[in-house]
Structure 1
Amino acid sequence: MYKHLYQRFLKANPAQLHFACHSHHYWPDVTRDAQLQYWDDTTKYVDGKWEHIFSVKVPQGQKLIAEVLNLSDPEQIVFAPNTHEFVFRLLSSLDWGNKIRVLTTDSEFYSFDRQINRLSELPQFEVVKVPTQPFDSFHERFEQAMEAADWNLIFVSHVFFNSGLVCDVERLVKDAPSECPFIIDGYHSFMAVPLNLKPIQDKAFYLGGSYKYAQGGEGCCFLYVPPATRHRPMYTGWFAELSKLSAIGDEVGYPVDALQYAGSTMDFTALYRLIATLEKFKDEGLTVTKIHQIVQQNQQLFLEELEKANHPLVNRGSLLVSDLKNHGHFLTFDLPSTEATSDLVKKMKTRGLYTDSRGSRLRFGFGLYHDAADIKAAVGKI
């Protein structure tokens, strides 16, 4: 139905069935023009490029993202090249001279999990990870953990990257202690699973980016900062000097808006691509709700075709999360071993079917460039 948005990628890969779009999504054609526009603006503005970017392009991007998440204050969104930069900046806003207690899960993406694992080697860091499985009791167990101790930072994904489970982040944020920063990792849900942040916009930070379902490619991530936040991240950069500061003498001042979490020089090409994609989706009437409905229909068809195929490994019995109403845009199958999963991924690739895996978990991602014929063909190549 929406293949016309992706003609360049589809024509460049005519023999490929790309079902790894949760890992690297095809980009809409409009992103090529956006990439060239960044070059043209650079030649036009030269030294005035930063003024143009921060007065025109950044507000455009902030407004589009705020509309998707139903946020009241677009200026509370700040950009960086990757989420890890924000993760460490958030951690650097804590008092490392005292005990730091972090509550999270065992299913967070590597940008956070690797960093927090390294920090847990330090004596002042205590990290508690709540297992996401069994899924049926996850929310209750996480709430119990929040109540069991005082925390300095809470971090949880909206959609868990290794299962597809959708977390009820609104419920968790409302039950969380108000004095503790609560960070939602929305990278595997932004522009995929509908989320209304307005009820929790005064309490929750939100991390997202353009690489996956926002389809703008790598290099443009963002952080929503609650308006009352007054932090002084130790890891800071010159972009934080761009708005009015309260510095006195040599004091390091910080903005009162989202730029308190700003870093330094970055290539804003990806922001141009993200803006172009979000504007194109608006023109096409593609809201997150509509995109989600289309993908859910394709997932249901995929499972129906799987039942007919009766595959010994990839079937409803190995499907990790079966409730499509509370599911991200990829289906995860837990196979008997990492070796079996890796072998199957390689075999499917030789047949033109591209997926990806994490350990023993095989993932099939679904996008707007898939139709019924693609789904049936994909099942036939497993």
Structure 2
Amino acid sequence: MYKQFYQRFLQANQGKQHFASHSHHYWPDVTRDATLAYWDDSARLVDDKWQRIFGEMIPQTQQLIADVLNLPLPEQIVFAGNTHELVMRLFSCFDLSKPLKVLSTDSEFYSFQRQAKRLAEFDNIELITVPTEPFASFTERFIAKAKEQQPDMVFCSQVFFNSGYAIADLPGFVSALAAVTDAMLVIDGYHGFMALPTDLASVAEQAFYLAGSYKYAQGGEGCCFMAVPPGSKQRPWYTGWFAEFGTLAAEKSALVLYSNDGNHFAGATMDYTALYRLHAVLLLFKQQGITVGRIHHYVRQLQQAFLAELARQQHPQLNQANLLLADLAAHGHFFTYKLASNSEVAELAAFLKNKGIITDYRGDRLRFGFGLYQTSDSFNLSCLQHA
């Protein structure tokens, strides 16, 4: 049904079953034309291309993202080359020479985890981590810890990369946090954006939301974004000249000025090829009526078909007992199987890859992801009978 949009990637990977969409999602064919369009605009317009980028492509992409997330103010969305840049900009809102308390989890992706752990090596910076497991009590435990610790920053994923566990009621979760703490609230939505239906309208003023195009937005690496709460008064010291947009005509002063919209958190000159790709994908889906709700419904069907196929194989490692989450309602778009050791996972992943089944793994966890370019009748895991 959806494979028609992915012919180039499918043709380049014939004979493979790609279960790593959560890591590197296949790109729709329109992204190739978008990549060439950026080159063509650069050749045709040269310096004037910036008028097209900032006057057309960025506002259009902001609106497309805002439509997906039901954000009321598209101009509050700011772009960057990666989420680490945005994470550091958020950290730089604080005076890092003073005490800083950060509340997070033991399951954040490396773009935050590594940087936060490094900062926590300073005596004045405290990193408090809440275990995500047991998943059934996570949100209650996390909110309670926020109330108890009164941190300066709260950082938490919408879908956790090392398990697939998804916060079911994200707006309710954010509102509950906002009710017990005045901390800066940050949600990492990278594994949720364009996968799980997400409505941020009620919490747009309460939390920052980070995501990007590399996973389920299907535009590839190089285009991440952050939804900034309107009226944000933070003054990040890690700031680029794009953050002056909207103030360039103002009289110069000793005080560094910031834009009044999402560009408040902008950096500096970047390659916008990836933004063209993201724009092309989101526009394609809008024109085709492919909503996140439809995507999620389709992937749920794929996941159910996969579990049925896997059950038929009766594999000693890849089975329901080793699946971290049995409840599909608590899942993002990938399954995570926890095995006995890192080496056991690596060996099984290598065996599967040799059989044309592409997965990925983190430590002792093997992940199977699902995307629109898959069909349930193409799943073939019979090789597991010989693993």
Instruction: State the TM-score, normalizing by the size of structure 2.
Output: 0.96
Residue correspondence of structure 1 range 183-194 to structure 2 within 5 A: 183-194=186-197
TM-aligned CA deviation for residue 247 of structure 1: 6.4
Q: What is the identity, as a one-letter code, of the residue corresponding to 1:142? A: F
From 350, 368, 374, give the equivalent of 1:370: 374
Overall identity of the aligned pairs, in %: 53
SS in 2 for 1:154: strand
Q: What is the identity, as a one-letter code, of the residue corresponding to 1:284? A: Q
CA contact (8 A) 1:169 1:184 kept: no
- How many residues align structurally? 381
CA contact (8 A) 1:174 1:200 kept: yes
Most deviating of 90-99 and 158-167: 90-99
Q: Deviations over 1:196-220 (max 9, x none)?
A: 0001111010001000100000000
SS in 2 for 1:370: coil
CA contact (8 A) 1:100 1:125 kept: yes
Instruction: State the TM-score, normalizing by the size of structure 1.
Output: 0.97
CA contact (8 A) 1:17 1:378 kept: no
SS in 2 for 1:52: helix
Q: Deviations over 1:208-251 (max 9, x none)?
A: 10001000000000000000211110100111122226664232
From 219, 225, 245, give the equivalent of 2:228: 225
Most deviating of 278-287 and 294-303: 278-287
Distance 1:54 1:198 in 2: 25
TM-aligned CA deviation for residue 169 of structure 1: 2.8
For structure 1, list consecutive stretches of 5 or more residues without a partner in the other structure.
none
Q: Which residue matches 1:48?
A: 48
Q: Deviations over 1:347-380 (max 9, x none)?
A: 00111110000011000010011112222x1464
Q: Deviations over 1:239-286 (max 9, x none)?
A: 112222666423211112111100011100000000100111112221
CA contact (8 A) 2:245 2:258 kept: no
TM-aligned CA deviation for residue 95 of structure 1: 2.0
CA contact (8 A) 2:70 2:199 kept: yes
1:379–1:164 distance in 2 versus 1, CA, 3 Å: farther
Distance 1:352 1:308 in 2: 19
Q: Which residue matches 1:64?
A: 64
Q: Which residue matches 1:358?
A: 362
**2:143 aligned with 1:143:** yes
Distance 1:165 1:105 in 2: 13
TM-aligned CA deviation for residue 67 of structure 1: 0.2
**2:213 aligned with 1:195:** no
Q: Which residue matches 1:211?
A: 214
Residue correspondence of structure 1 range 1-382 to structure 2 within 5 A: 1-167=1-167, 168-177=169-178, 179-244=182-247, 248-375=252-379, 377-378=380-381, 380-381=383-384
Most deviating of 358-367 and 173-182: 173-182
Q: What is the identity, as a one-letter code, of the residue corresponding to 1:263? A: G
Aligned Cα RMSD in Å? 1.2
CA contact (8 A) 1:25 1:213 kept: yes
Q: What is the identity, as a one-letter code, of the residue corresponding to 1:103? A: L
Q: Deviations over 1:331-358 (max 9, x none)?
A: 0000111110000000001111100000
Distance 1:86 1:317 in 2: 38
CA contact (8 A) 1:302 1:379 kept: no
